[in-house]
Structure 1
Amino acid sequence: MKRDSMSPGSFRLGLALEGTGWHPASWLLSSVTDAEEVFTGGYWTNWGRAAASAGIDFVTLEDGLSLQTDRFGTADQAHDRVRGRLDPVVTAAVLLATTDISEVVVSRNVTHTNPFHVAAQLASLAAIGPGRVVWRPQVSADARDATVVGGPATPQLQAEDVYVPTRIARRLRDLFRDAEDYVRTVRELWRTFPAESLSSGDTFLHRDMVAPSRLTGRERYPAAGPLTVPVASTPKVAVLAHHALEPYRLAAAVADRVFVTPSDEHPIPVLLAAFREIEKLTPDATGTEVYADVAVVLGDTDEHAESRLARLNDAAGFVWVPDTHVFVGTADRLTHELARWREQFGLTGVRLRPAVLPDDADRIIQKLVW
Structure 2
Amino acid sequence: MDRNLVDPGSFRFGLALEGTGWHPASWLSSPVKDAEEVFASGYWTGWGRAAASGGIDFVTLEDGLSLQSDRFATADQAHDRVRGRLDPVVTAAILLATTDLGEVVVSRNVTHTNPFHVAVQMASLAAIGPGRVVWRPQVSADARDAMVVGGPATPGLRPEDLYVPTRIARRLRDLFRDAEDYVRTVRELWRTFPGESLGSGDTFLRPGMVAPLELTGTERYPAAGPLTVPVRNAPKVAVLAHHALEPYRLAAAVADRVFVTPSQEHPIPALLTAFREVERLTPDADGTEVYADVAVVLGDTEEHARARLARLNEAAGFVWAPDTYVFVGTTDRLARELADWREQFGLRGVRLRPAVLADDGDRIVRELVR
TM-score by length of 2: 0.99
Q: Please name the residue that 1:193 is paired with.
A: 193
Q: Quick one: which amino acid aligns to residue 212 of structure 1? A: P
Segment of structure 1 superposing worse, 199-208 or 235-244: 199-208
> Tell me, what secondary structure is at the counterpart of 2:162?
helix
When residues 137 and 217 of structure 1 are mapped into structure 2, their CA distance, relative to the original with a 3 A threshold, is closer
Give 3-state SS (helix, strand or coil) of 2:166's partner: helix
- SS of the residue aligned with 2:259? strand
* Residue in structure 1 matched with residue 352 of structure 2 by the alignment: 352
Cα distance, 1:34 vs structure 2: 1.3
**Aligned sequence identity (%):** 84
Change (3 A) 1:217 1:355: closer
TM-score by length of 1: 0.99
Equivalent-residue separation in structure 2 for 1:6 and 1:36 (angstroms): 41
CA distance in 2, matches of 1:102, 1:215: 34
Give the Cα–Cα distance (whole angstroms) in 1 for the partners of residues 169 and 6 of structure 2.
Answer: 36
Q: How does 1:219-258 map to 2 (within 5 A)?
A: 219-258=219-258
Q: Deviations over 1:269-306 (max 9, x none)?
A: 00000000000100111110000000000000000000
State the AA in 2 paired with 1:251.
A
Question: Take 1:33 and 1:301, find their aligned partners in 2: how far apart are those partners?
Answer: 27
Deviations for 1:4-24, whole angstroms, at most 9, x for unmatched residues? 334431100000000000000
Which residue pairs with 1:30 in the alignment?
A: 30
Do 1:188 and 1:215's aligned partners in 2 also have CA atoms closer than 8 Å? no
TM-align CA RMSD: 0.9
Aligned: 1:152 with 2:152: yes
Contact 1:24–1:81 (8 Å) recurs in 2: yes
Aligned to 2:88: 88
Corresponding residue number in structure 2 for 1:309: 309
Alignment deviations for residues 190-209 of structure 1 (CA, whole Å, 9 cap, x no partner): 00001110111322110110
Name 2:100's counterpart in structure 1. Answer: 100
- Determine if contact 2:106/2:135 at 8 Å carries over to the other structure: yes
Give, in whole Å, the separation in 1 of the partners of 2:204 and 2:74: 53
Of residues 330-339 and 155-164 in structure 1, the stretch that sits farther from structure 2 once superposed is: 155-164
TM superposition shift of 1:243: 0.2
Counterparts of 2:6 and 2:296 in 1: how far apart (Å)?
19
- Match in the other structure for 2:48: 48
Taking the aligned partners of 1:355 and 1:181, their CA distance within structure 2 comes to 34
Superposed CA deviations along residues 315-334 of structure 1, whole A, max 9, x for unmatched, are: 00000000000000000100
Match of 1:333 in 2: 333
Aligned to 2:368: 368
Where does the alignment leave 5 or more consecutive residues of structure 1 unmatched?
A: none
Distance between the aligned counterparts of 1:32 and 1:186, measured in 2? 38
Aligned residues, how many? 370
* C-alpha distance after superposition, 1:78-133 (max 9, x if no partner): 00000000000000000000000000000000000000000000000000000000
For residues 263 and 196 of structure 2, the distance between their equivalents in structure 1, rounded to whole angstroms, comes to 46
Mapping of residues 175-186 of structure 1, within 5 Å:
175-186=175-186
- Structure 2 vs 1, CA of residues 369 and 217 (structure 1 numbering), >3 Å: closer, same or farther? closer
Q: Where does the alignment leave 5 or more consecutive residues of structure 2 unmatched?
A: none
Does structure 1 conserve the Cα–Cα contact (< 8 Å) formed by 2:195 and 2:231? Answer: yes
Structure 1 segments of 4+ aligned residues over 6 angstroms from their partners: none
**Could you say what secondary structure the match of 2:312 adopts?**
helix
Aligned pairs for 1:220-299 within 5 A: 220-299=220-299
Shift of 1:134: 0.1
8 Å CA contact 1:3–1:368 kept in 2: the answer is no
Partners of 2:339 and 2:211 lie apart in 1 by 47
3-state SS of paired residue (2:111): coil
User: Alpha-carbon deviation of 1:217?
Assistant: 5.8
